[in-house]
Chain A
Amino acid sequence: MRKIKHVNSAGLLFLVVAFIMTGFFLLSFAGEKYDFLALLFAVTAGVLMLAVYVILIKISRHADRFVIIVADLLIGIGLLIQYRLNTDNAFRQLLFLVVGIILMFIIMALIKNTKFFEYISWPLMIVSIAVLSVLFFVGKEVGGARNWIIIAGIQFQPSEFVKLAFVVVLADWLTDRYRFFDLIIPMIFVFMIVGILMLERDLGAAVLLFGTSLIMFYVATGRKGAVLTGVGIGAIGAVGSYYLFDHVKARVAIWLNPWATYTTNGYQIAQGLMAIATGGMWGVGLGVGSPKLIPMYNNDYIFAVICEEFGVIFGILLIAFYLVLVIRGAIIALNATEKFYMLLSFGCTTIIALQSIIIIGGVIKMIPLTGITLPFVSQGGSSMIACLMMLGVLEGVSARSGMMLENRMAEIEEEMRTNENEA
């Protein structure tokens, strides 16, 4: 029987795991006493990654190996830097990692074997709006944005999960619908979600989802005119919010000159820039820098911390890895056999791409700073779980496409055989 030949990337996986372990090895000497826990942590993480890889391939031969390996690398670097910052957080991160992995496998299996995701768009729409609205009333405000909920003692961010729901909903609506009139309902949905997020002052998520919706719309329908109108509306919204909301004005001011308001608003950006500059090309060394001077050093500003200790060259390579992830995601989308899954996987890819661009761009002062996390690397349970769920989607679509392709190949072989017998 004819099969698709997949490249054996076990070697790469071992490389990545070895790399992470080396990092922890170094870190174990950082304290006054030798830190055995660090090695233990590293081994646990390493074994976990190897196990995940094995299970992944077991679930489907056709699962995309590179996406999981790059994710492992990013997660590993994230764990490394989190451990360096605060060991308790690192263990929490590991825990959320496990939860996320389980969800990832579930989603992957669902996509590969069922049509579950094709039918849940209405429930998802209602739940998303409900959850975000509820935040208005019971939300806990952190860092100026009201987007956290505490359930059973655990703090998490529903907007992270809304992202995935958003993509599923849009993918469903955009499959086989081109006419403006048919798309009114999802457009209302988009505006409602973006609106609620803006009112809750979660600008990062609002911009991210708005951008994603425009991109998905363009990919599905190819209507440049409509997309440009959407960009126009976004621009007007941006300018409008600048004049309407003081906190937006403040963000733009500190983007242009953080040193002017160093003691108050500009402090974070200035510290981030100084940290990156101090690191220089090669960094000051793991454990040698002063990351805690920067506010939000373990989530939004994690990129600056990485650049301080590992250097700008490393930072650029990190950006390159995100690009690899995005490209592989796009390839998964291109290889999909059904339009719904094409849109679904590309939607997830877009979210990862835009999210990284928005936060890294903000940290290096290329664009105004917004508060979102760096996928896989930032500390944050909800972020990690949501990103792993998106990974699950990508793997699921890859598995499904591979399976369908191989089935088709078997069909053709069967055809050829019967043709021969007839001949």
Chain B
Amino acid sequence: MPSTAYITFASIMRYFFVLAMLYILVRITVQSVREYLSIRRAKYWVDGVFAATVKFIAPEEFENASFELAKKNAIGSSKRCELYIDGCNLEKKHVVLIQKKHGAYLEVRASVKINGKKHGKGEVLPLYDGDKIELNSVAFIFNTRLKEEKNAQN
């Protein structure tokens, strides 16, 4: 039979054990969710989902530069944009490029030319692989690896 001192010690430790288990459980769940999301992101990239990029063609300083797009990309001159471009006379938030599972589209906040055609504030247009987007002097090509077959399948 253990001593009284031990029993007191053990009785106090009960609470510690339970709380420690709870803490470990919570942390494992949180980290596990993060891991799951990380693998999901990699799979999406492989499938081309949410994996679009834009490649600049003008102005000259940016030519051939690539930018990997996130789910929501504000493009403009404000530092708060995901893709911010200085000194090219863009609006603070010129356009917003949004990726969905099956494609992407552009929310126009200030005038923009897509494949040569002008579009004005308030328009929301779908984007396809190879589309050329011009904001004043900046131009880039929208590239998505999403194949048409994939779109049809989904």
Given contacts A26-B10, A285-B11, A317-B21, contact A409 B42 (CB under 8 A): yes
Chain B residues positioned under 8 Å from A9 (CB to CB): 31
Those of B7-45 within 8 Å (CB) of chain A: 7, 9-11, 13-18, 20-25, 27-29, 31-32, 34-36, 38-39, 42-43, 45
A–B pairs, 16, beta carbons within 8 Å: A2-B45, A6-B38, A12-B31, A26-B13, A66-B31, A66-B35, A285-B10, A286-B17, A287-B6, A310-B18, A311-B18, A313-B18, A314-B21, A327-B32, A335-B39, A409-B46
Shortest C-beta distance, B129 to chain A (Å), equals: 12
4 smallest beta-carbon distances between A and B, as pairs: A285-B10, A317-B21, A7-B35, A4-B42
Chain A residues positioned under 8 Å from B35 (CB to CB): 6-7, 65-66
Those of A1-30 within 8 Å (CB) of chain B: 2, 4-7, 9, 11-12, 15-16, 19, 22-23, 26, 29-30
Is there an interface contact between A324 and B42, defined as CB atoms closer than 8 Å? no
Is there an interface contact between A66 and B7, defined as CB atoms closer than 8 Å? no
Is there an interface contact between A7 and B27, defined as CB atoms closer than 8 Å? no
Shortest C-beta distance, B61 to chain A (Å), equals: 20
How distant is the Cα of A26 from the Cα of B25 in the complex, in angstroms?
Answer: 22
Is there an interface contact between A331 and B36, defined as CB atoms closer than 8 Å? yes
Instruction: Give the residue name and chain of the B residue nearest to A325 (CB).
Output: B28
Interface string of A403-417 (1 = CB under 8 A from B): 001101100100010
Is B116 in contact with chain A by the CB < 8 A criterion? no
Is B2 in contact with chain A by the CB < 8 A criterion? yes
How distant is the Cα of A310 from the Cα of B10 in the complex, in angstroms?
Answer: 10
Partner among A4, A69, A310 whose Cβ is within 8 Å of the Cβ of B14: A310
Chain B residues positioned under 8 Å from A416 (CB to CB): 145
Is A73 in contact with chain B by the CB < 8 A criterion? yes
Instruction: Give the residue name and chain of the A residue nearest to B33 (CB).
Output: A7
Is A328 in contact with chain B by the CB < 8 A criterion? yes
Instruction: Give the residue name and chain of the B residue nearest to A26 (CB).
Output: B13
How distant is the Cα of A313 from the Cα of B22 in the complex, in angstroms?
Answer: 9
Given contacts A6-B35, A311-B18, A317-B18, contact A12 B2 (CB under 8 A): no
Instruction: Give the residue name and chain of the B residue nearest to A412 (CB).
Output: B46
Chain A residues positioned under 8 Å from B34 (CB to CB): 7
Those of A386-419 within 8 Å (CB) of chain B: 402, 405-406, 408-409, 412, 416
Is A136 in contact with chain B by the CB < 8 A criterion? no
Is there an interface contact between B27 and A12, defined as CB atoms closer than 8 Å? yes
Is A288 in contact with chain B by the CB < 8 A criterion? yes
How distant is the Cα of A287 from the Cα of B17 in the complex, in angstroms?
Answer: 14
Shortest C-beta distance, A407 to chain B (Å), equals: 10
Shortest C-beta distance, A122 to chain B (Å), equals: 34
Shortest C-beta distance, B55 to chain A (Å), equals: 9
Is there an interface contact between B46 and A408, defined as CB atoms closer than 8 Å? yes
Is there an interface contact between B28 and A324, defined as CB atoms closer than 8 Å? yes
Chain B residues positioned under 8 Å from A218 (CB to CB): none
Is A368 in contact with chain B by the CB < 8 A criterion? no
Is there an interface contact between A30 and B46, defined as CB atoms closer than 8 Å? no
Chain A residues positioned under 8 Å from B16 (CB to CB): 22
Partner among A12, A29, A31, A335 whose Cβ is within 8 Å of the Cβ of B9: A29
Chain B residues positioned under 8 Å from A282 (CB to CB): 14-15, 18
Is there an interface contact between A73 and B7, defined as CB atoms closer than 8 Å? no
Is A70 in contact with chain B by the CB < 8 A criterion? yes
Is there an interface contact between A310 and B17, defined as CB atoms closer than 8 Å? yes
Those of B41-79 within 8 Å (CB) of chain A: 42-43, 45-46
Given contacts A4-B38, A66-B35, contact A16 B24 (CB under 8 A): yes
Shortest C-beta distance, B144 to chain A (Å), equals: 12
Chain A residues positioned under 8 Å from B38 (CB to CB): 4-7
Seed contacts A26-B10, A285-B14, A286-B14; 9 additional CB < 8 Å A-B pairs: A2-B45, A12-B28, A22-B13, A29-B9, A317-B25, A320-B25, A324-B32, A405-B39, A412-B145
Interface string of A304-330 (1 = CB under 8 A from B): 000000110110011011001001100
How distant is the Cα of A15 from the Cα of B23 in the complex, in angstroms?
Answer: 10
